Amino acid sequence: MRRILDGLYALSAAAAAISLLLIALVILSQTILRPLGVVVPSGAEISGYLVAATTFLALAPTFRAGGHIRVSLLIRALPTSFNRGIEIWCLAVGTGLAAFLAWNLWGMAVKSIARHSLSPGLLGVPLWIPQMVMVLGAAIFVICLLDCLVSVIRGEAAPYEGAPDEAGVPGEV
């Protein structure tokens, strides 16, 4: 199971990286082609969708790597006997909030499919396509949070613990 989950997070990170590369290519092509009189249709719109895809697909791998901002000042001030309970509570609440987000994104995408909603740009992109990418990223994030929650409940260290800080020194971020 561990291999499957790690593969899912790696795949999500790779998809986010590809999305980021596509943003650069769209913007670069707009910059190079505009002086030549060639317009990339809906380039800004497509870049916006790719930004959302990059953001949502990177949530889980970034969280596991300890790349999200954590406020650990309170945790450090409390006795270590409370730390595990607080960590479990935070992960449980985070999982609930992420699940709520994924559920509502799913509802929004389903409504877009039912209404045949299209983007207002030149290409008329069906809105459910970028919305489903957001749903996918949010769902992978929920899985990641549940994975971390189960690890902490089992008494294991959370995967994001001990991630290196900006100076490359291991410790809490």
* Best CA proximity match to 146, nearest among 104, 96, 106: 96
**Residue 62 is assigned to a structural domain of this protein:** yes
Q: Please say if the pLDDT value at position 164 is more than 70.
A: no
What's the rounded mean pLDDT across residues 92-120?
96
pLDDT the model gives residue 13: 96
Q: Which amino acid is at 154?
A: R
Its pTM stands at: 0.86
Domain total in the chain: 1
Answer for the pair 54, 19: CB distance below 8 angstroms, yes or no. Answer: yes
Is the C-alpha dihedral spanning 56, 58, 64, 68 positive or negative? negative
Sole residue written with tokens 């901002």: 69
What is residue 123's DSSP assignment?
S
Domain assignment of residue 25, given as a range: 2-153
**Residue 162 is assigned to a structural domain of this protein:** no
**Residue 27 is assigned to a structural domain of this protein:** yes
**Residue 35 is assigned to a structural domain of this protein:** yes
* Best CA proximity match to 160, nearest among 103, 97, 90: 90
**Residue 163 is assigned to a structural domain of this protein:** no
**Residue 168 is assigned to a structural domain of this protein:** no
